[in-house]
Structure 1
Amino acid sequence: MSERVELEKTLSPFNVGALALGSIIGFGCFILPSDLMAKSGPLGAAIGIFLGAIIMIIIGRCYGFMVREVPVSGGEFAYAYTGFGRNHAYLCGWFLTLGYLSIVPLNATALALLAKFIAPGLFEQGYLYTMAGYDVYAGEIALASAAIIIFGYFNYRGVKDVGKVQLLMVGLLLGAVALIGGGTALNPDTSVANLLPPFAQDKGMIASILAILAISPWLYVGFDTIPQAAEEYDFPPEKGFKLIFWSIFLGAVMYVIVLLSTGMVFPWTELVAGKHNWATGYAMEHALGKSGVIFLVVGISMAICTGINGFYMATSRLLFGMARAKILPKWFVNVHETHKTPSNAILFIMLFSLLAPWFGRQVIVWVVDMAALGTTFGYAYTCFGCYIMAKNSTTITAQESSTNKAWGLVGGAFSIGFLLLLCVPGSPGFMATQSWIALVGWVALGIVFYLSQTKEYNKLTKAELDYLILGTEKPVSQ
């Protein structure tokens, strides 16, 4: 058996935290406030967002334990293997792969949506066709492709470049949100009274909060870039949970700042009446003038770009980790001699992402909605894997074992709840028919791929897989 290929330890805590926070805060932070208020009212939405953060921190606690115990590339793939074995690892990894892959072009195509707000018609040039009700333009494909290539280049060049670029962009993102919140709060024309009534008029307090709580877990997708990068920490992996906690907490704070800032400018019931294509943009322009729109444009641009950058990193490490276990072709394991990055995995992500915009944004959204199921699988495998590892560990105290078993069971229960929200008809997160069709296709492809790779994967002994996936001592017989 060949030697286990490893990645260099070059990421600082600030780099890793920026990757996670930038991946959490996306386009929706600046576009969704009116929708969230219409669903639940300002206070109902804010409480729902924070309660969702608490649930995700509970799940994140399980991730923190697993990062400490299994600090390798592959994240949930490795955790599923640790707790449940090779077949479950493949199932988890297969679903996560599409989930991560699809988020890169989803963010890239969001640039065209931003352009429609700030420069209508600029990129709507070269009409090609309509797919799933979405008009596809050559100009918008070129814009998305440029972003995909630029961030692919950064990721190819080295993880240090990724970390530095992400840190700069997250700094700009934080600054934009702070200026939006501070400027709105200090403006004499804005009023807290505009946030009344605090909850949706057609719902009570509890129903308003639950309506947001049901969808809030997916607001925080992106914190799991932290475990994907664990092999490249230049610091002790024990700090993983602190980074997860702060990325989720700050993400919640940023969502709520933009939400309440939007609602304070006008009576929120008037703002969400559907008269404005972009309620947040309209409110900020009224409250802060052209500078408010500039802050928003900077914030949205950075949110989109940090998402592309972060999920390039996370996806490439997942592909690398799975290929190292021989469940994906060996080609994905290649590490660039100079840049020390999983270069082939990054090139694959770039090529896949460059194809996606040709299908139109609506198709990508269906795939991402379906892929949310894979993300939730990752949560469940990590939490229950935490329980199993804590139960079987001989290196931690009885008290720590008991504590982590409890976190694992609670986090696992929440994860199952999220799965039900996606799969039970009538629930707030139930997937569209098109997403179910995409799911059937992806499962069928996964079965075919598994059967084609299973011979080599299954002939590996447990000791060999432990070495390849977890980095344990190489089997003596080899």
Structure 2
Amino acid sequence: MEQREQLAKSLKPHWVWAIAFGSAIGWGAFVLPVDWMGMAGPLGVIIGYSIGALLMILIGVCYGYLIERLPVSGGEFVYSYYGLGRYHAFFCGWFLTLGYMSIVALNASALALLGKFIFPSIVEVGHLYTIAGWKVYAGETILACSALVIFAFLNIRGTSLSGFSQFIFCNGLVGGVILLTIAMFMHPTSSPAHLQPLFNPDKPVIVSILAIVAIAPWAYVGFGNIPQAAEEFDFHPRKSFSLIVTALLCSGLTYSVMIIATGVGMPWTSAVDAGYVWGTGVIVENAYGKIGVSLLTFALLMGIFTGLNGFYVSTSRLLFAMGRAKILPIGFAKLHSKHKTPYMGIFFTMAVTLSAPFFGREALLWVVDMASLGVTIAYFYACFVAYRLFNWSEQPSSQKEQLIVAPWKKFFSLLGVICSSSFFLLLVVPGSPGFLSKPSWIALLVWIALGAIFFLTRFKYYKEIPDEALDQYILGDHQKNDNERPSAPHKPTASATKVTSS
């Protein structure tokens, strides 16, 4: 059997927290507060994101269990293989790849949007064409593509460098948010009265809140980067759950603070009616002019940088894991000869996302909306596998499948299954607040068709890989836990005694 490449253990706990927190915040907290208030009102947004954070923590409980058991690159791809077999792993990995790549591309497009607001005379140069009502300029495509190339090479240079950089970017982000919030509250024209009405008066309160809860999988998706980096922890994977919870709570607090900081500066209904391209930017500029915009721009840049860097890490690790599993060409499983990073996955991510700025922001948003469905599917797989891993109580000795007796873990895993299923239904049930738009459904069908074509071309080879070999490729030394593994469709059920766990 060929040698299995492994990533070096070089990520410190605070770097991993920064990868999760910074990837969750990204650019949305600084660009979209006015749009979100238009959906639900200030309090509706805060309640929606708070509920979303709590629901994601329930899902995070499942991730904590699985990371401790399977601390290898690949995250949900690995978990779905471990619990349900190779074909489910392909399905999960395919959708998750799209979700991660879309977020890399969207962060690059947010940089172009920022450039249009700050330096329109430079960025809005060389009009190329208009797509879905969005004017695409050569200046913005150069800016976005440059960022994608720079962060690709940053990640290739080493995991320690990207982890340390992420921590620095997060410190800048937090500092910028704190200074901006204090400044907005201190301005003489700011007033808490501007937050009235607290909910969107044109919609029922519950509908408004659910519309925000529906986008929680996208808003908090950064915590899913922790399992992707698990193979590189220089600490015990048991600590991952506390890092997930802390990152989610900090993310929810940051979203709420930015809603309040934006809302107190100007009546939010007026900002919504004005239809600003960047409502938060206009409100801060009205209060503090170029100095205020510079502070907001700094915080936004840190958010964009953390999103780009964090999702380059997670996407490349997912592709690396799929390469080791022989789903993707073997080149994806190779490490850089000097820096020991999964350089093929990084280059591939860069190559694919470099095309995104040329499609315009509106078209890209359709893909990202659809990609949130893929991320939700990955959440479900992780929670369902965790649920199958545990048992409510000891079974009769005739039971052939060995499971861990852990009723509380099984209960929380069940809650995770319910939460992830609810997120999925909010996106696909007609009439629900988060129902995908028609263009997003078209993009989804295109991605499914591409996946089907790719799967059919690899099916014969993938099917013929022996179970033992595939276990070694995907799980490595952690296949030793196989006696505590739910029986998967591709494996015979093993007889064993019960194991009790607290």
Stretch of structure 1 that moved more, 240-249 or 229-238: 240-249
Q: Deviations over 1:363-388 (max 9, x none)?
A: 22222222212101100000001111
- Cα separation, partners in 2 of 1:315 and 1:333, compared to 1, 3 Å: same
Stretch of structure 1 that moved more, 422-431 or 310-319: 422-431
Q: Which residue of 2 aligns with 1:311?
A: 311
Paired residues for 1:124-273 under 5 Å: 124-273=124-273
Answer whether contact 1:71 1:227 (CA < 8 A) is retained. Answer: yes
Q: How much does 1:276 deviate?
A: 4.0
Answer whether contact 1:53 1:217 (CA < 8 A) is retained. Answer: no
| Secondary structure, aligned partner of 2:122 | coil
Paired residues for 1:409-424 under 5 Å: 409-424=414-429
Q: Deviations over 1:293-343 (max 9, x none)?
A: 112101111111111111111000000001101111101011012101011
Report the residue type matching 1:134 in the other structure. Answer: W
| Secondary structure, aligned partner of 1:122 | helix
| Secondary structure, aligned partner of 2:222 | coil
- Cα separation, partners in 2 of 1:366 and 1:275, compared to 1, 3 Å: closer
Normalising by the residue count of structure 1, what TM-score does the alignment of the two structures yield?
A: 0.94
Q: Which residue of 2 aligns with 1:443?
A: 448
Report the residue type matching 1:417 in the other structure. Answer: S
| Secondary structure, aligned partner of 2:418 | helix
- Cα separation, partners in 2 of 1:474 and 1:426, compared to 1, 3 Å: closer
Answer whether contact 1:157 1:341 (CA < 8 A) is retained. Answer: yes
Report the residue type matching 2:464 in the other structure. Answer: K
Q: Write the distance in 2 (CA, Å) between the matches of 1:105 and 1:275.
A: 24
Answer whether contact 1:24 1:219 (CA < 8 A) is retained. Answer: yes
Stretch of structure 1 that moved more, 418-427 or 149-158: 418-427
Paired residues for 1:421-440 under 5 Å: 421-440=426-445
Paired residues for 1:109-120 under 5 Å: 109-120=109-120
- Structure 2: give runs of 5+ residues left out of the alignment: 393-400, 481-502
Q: Write the distance in 2 (CA, Å) between the matches of 1:344 and 1:277.
A: 37
Answer whether contact 1:12 1:233 (CA < 8 A) is retained. Answer: yes
Report the residue type matching 1:317 in the other structure. Answer: R
Q: Does 1:341 align with 2:341?
A: yes
Q: Deviations over 1:27-59 (max 9, x none)?
A: 221122112222222112111111111011111
Q: Write the distance in 2 (CA, Å) between the matches of 1:248 and 1:17.
A: 10
Q: Which residue of 1 aligns with 2:36?
A: 36
Identical-pair percentage: 50
Q: Write the distance in 2 (CA, Å) between the matches of 1:318 and 1:293.
A: 37
| Secondary structure, aligned partner of 1:181 | helix
Q: Write the distance in 2 (CA, Å) between the matches of 1:391 and 1:403.
A: 9
Answer whether contact 1:39 1:200 (CA < 8 A) is retained. Answer: yes
Answer whether contact 1:215 1:428 (CA < 8 A) is retained. Answer: no
| Secondary structure, aligned partner of 1:136 | strand
Q: Which residue of 2 aligns with 1:455?
A: 460
Q: Write the distance in 2 (CA, Å) between the matches of 1:354 and 1:207.
A: 37
Q: Does 1:70 align with 2:70?
A: yes
| Secondary structure, aligned partner of 2:156 | helix
Let me know the Cα RMSD of the aligned residues: 1.9
Q: Which residue of 1 aligns with 2:491?
A: none
Q: Deviations over 1:146-182 (max 9, x none)?
A: 1011000011111111011111111111111111112
Report the residue type matching 1:73 in the other structure. Answer: S
Q: Does 1:405 align with 2:410?
A: yes
Q: Which residue of 2 aligns with 1:104?
A: 104
| Secondary structure, aligned partner of 1:198 | coil
| Secondary structure, aligned partner of 1:224 | helix
Q: How much does 1:7 deviate?
A: 0.4
Stretch of structure 1 that moved more, 460-469 or 257-266: 460-469
Q: Write the distance in 1 (CA, Å) between the matches of 2:360 and 2:378.
A: 27
Q: Which residue of 1 aligns with 2:84?
A: 84
Answer whether contact 2:59 2:416 (CA < 8 A) is retained. Answer: yes
Answer whether contact 2:32 2:278 (CA < 8 A) is retained. Answer: no
| Secondary structure, aligned partner of 2:274 | coil
Q: How much does 1:97 deviate?
A: 1.0
Q: Write the distance in 2 (CA, Å) between the matches of 1:473 and 1:26.
A: 33
Q: How much does 1:358 deviate?
A: 2.2
Q: Write the distance in 1 (CA, Å) between the matches of 2:259 and 2:442.
A: 34
Report the residue type matching 1:414 in the other structure. Answer: C
- Cα separation, partners in 2 of 1:221 and 1:474, compared to 1, 3 Å: closer
Q: How much does 1:202 deviate?
A: 2.6
Answer whether contact 1:20 1:222 (CA < 8 A) is retained. Answer: yes
Answer whether contact 1:325 1:468 (CA < 8 A) is retained. Answer: yes
Q: Write the distance in 2 (CA, Å) between the matches of 1:453 and 1:188.
A: 64
- Cα separation, partners in 2 of 1:360 and 1:286, compared to 1, 3 Å: closer
Answer whether contact 2:116 2:140 (CA < 8 A) is retained. Answer: no
Q: Write the distance in 1 (CA, Å) between the matches of 2:402 and 2:477.
A: 16
Answer whether contact 2:49 2:216 (CA < 8 A) is retained. Answer: yes
Paired residues for 1:382-401 under 5 Å: 382-391=382-391, 398=405, 401=406
Q: Write the distance in 2 (CA, Å) between the matches of 1:218 and 1:118.
A: 26
Q: Write the distance in 2 (CA, Å) between the matches of 1:390 and 1:340.
A: 36
Q: Write the distance in 2 (CA, Å) between the matches of 1:457 and 1:472.
A: 21
Normalising by the residue count of structure 2, what TM-score does the alignment of the two structures yield?
A: 0.90
Q: Which residue of 2 aligns with 1:469?
A: 474
Stretch of structure 1 that moved more, 269-278 or 253-262: 269-278
Report the residue type matching 1:56 in the other structure. Answer: M
Q: Deviations over 1:263-314 (max 9, x none)?
A: 1123333333226443312322344443321121011111111111111110
Stretch of structure 1 that moved more, 382-391 or 446-455: 446-455
Report the residue type matching 1:415 in the other structure. Answer: S
- Cα separation, partners in 2 of 1:159 and 1:293, compared to 1, 3 Å: same
| Secondary structure, aligned partner of 1:121 | helix
Q: How much does 1:474 deviate?
A: 8.3
Q: Write the distance in 2 (CA, Å) between the matches of 1:54 and 1:288.
A: 35
Q: Deviations over 1:347-374 (max 9, x none)?
A: 1111112222222223222222222121
| Secondary structure, aligned partner of 2:136 | strand
Q: Write the distance in 2 (CA, Å) between the matches of 1:395 and 1:86.
A: 20
Q: Write the distance in 1 (CA, Å) between the matches of 2:373 and 2:478.
A: 34
Q: How much does 1:204 deviate?
A: 4.6
